[in-house]
Amino acid sequence: MNHPELHQKALLLLLGLVTLAFAWILWPFYGALFWAAVIAILFEPLYRQLLIGMRQRRNLAALTALLLFLVIVIFPLALVTAVLAREANAIYQQIHSGKLDYGAYFQQVINALPPWMTSLLDRFDMGDIASVQKKLSAAMMQGSQLLATQALNVGQNTFEFIVSFGIMLYVTYFLLRDGRDLMARIRQAIPLSTDTKRYLFNKFTTVIRATVKGNIVVAIVQGALGGLMFWFLGIQAPLLWGVVMAFLSLLPAVGTAMVWGPVAIYFLFTGAIMQGVILMAFGVLVIGLVDNVLRPILVGKDTQMPDYVVLVSTLGGMALFGLHGFVIGPVIAALFIATWDLFSSERETPSDGPA
């Protein structure tokens, strides 16, 4: 083995080791760094417009974009979180005191079932109503307690939360200001053709923007519509259920129905036919229409992925990375598809770059 080849292999080994070590150091704050990159990608067009209006003053433009992010996103989110914690705590207190008994609601549904359905439940060991009531009440109590104690958990981990939030804002500022220069250096270091690198990087940014903006818009619209309908029907804590529906709307096609569906069934089986029909029709025709119309336009069109791939990649991403996964999952899926498309096209026409 000659000297240049040995030098090249040693350099690659060193590069791999120091890269892994650097990633290990950053891993405790991967969430903050990930969202800093996402926010920078989303607000980069705004930063470019501010840069033109502020005569190329990069520091001022980046700071202004960051302040607009705080005003547009963080402050409203903090207000909604405060109200949500109060509603969740109120529900927990009512369940704990016995004023709100979900087991009794379940009993009403069982009593309204026809005999053949009751026999079917007995075959699946669900005929012991007292046991089912106890489990259901315990599950609802634990869920509401979990929501109610999130504010306390944040308070107990105030230092960690503040550090992560500060790192996110700090890194976002520099990614806005120096992001293009950093991206140019990364592109230069990657050993791929110029066309291939441009295609993959464009795909990466497009999928992030489409996934975040599309899912957030769909979540806000579906959560607001569901919460308003719950308020109209007199269901307790409509804001809480609206936020739950907004969160579950991250799961395409099935998300919000996991909330309004059982409530509509409860209305139908307990004699509130009008409320049940209204909620069922509103859920299918209005809330479902938002998912079927907006999501393909805002998410599927730009990512160029079918709904089932978006659903599976979102579920898999959230299973592995938590809330971050609703972005990470579709991004990995889109890059997987794009890379295989590149590989297939280059095997067919080796001399040509990607279309």
Residues 71 and 55 grouped into a single domain: yes
Tokens of 157: 């981990």
Q: In terms of Cα–Cα distance, which of 297, 334, 321 is closest to 207?
A: 334
Q: How far apart are CA 249 and CA 283, in angstroms?
A: 12
Residues 247 and 285 grouped into a single domain: yes
The H-or-E segment that residue 36 falls in is helix 30-53
- In the chain, the number of structural domains is 2
Q: Residue 17 domain-assigned?
A: no
Per-residue pLDDT of the chain (355 residues; tens, 9 = 90+): 556 777 777 888 888 888 889 889 888 888 888 889 888 888 888 888 888 888 888 888 889 999 998 988 888 888 877 777 777 776 666 666 666 555 555 555 555 555 655 665 566 555 555 555 555 555 555 555 554 555 455 455 667 778 888 899 999 999 888 888 888 888 787 777 777 778 888 888 888 877 787 778 888 888 888 888 888 888 777 887 888 888 877 776 667 787 888 888 877 777 778 888 888 888 888 887 777 777 666 665 656 677 777 778 877 887 888 778 878 888 888 888 888 877 777 666 655 445 4
What does pTM read for this prediction?
Answer: 0.68
Helix, strand, coil tally for the chain in percent (to 5)? 85, 0, 15
Residues 41 and 183 grouped into a single domain: yes
Tokens of 92: 């927990």
Q: Which domain holds residue 52?
A: 28-189
Q: Please identify, among 170, 189, 208, the residue that sits at the C-terminal boundary of a domain.
A: 189
Q: Residue 4 domain-assigned?
A: no
Q: Residue 8 domain-assigned?
A: no
Instruction: Say which DSSP state 271 is in.
Output: T
Residues 41 and 165 grouped into a single domain: yes
Residues 76 and 178 grouped into a single domain: yes
| Residue-wise DSSP of 154-209 | HHHTHHHHHHHHHHHHHHHHHHHHHHHHHHHHHHHHS-S-HHHHHHHHHHHHHHHH
Q: How far apart are CA 121 and CA 109, in angstroms?
A: 13
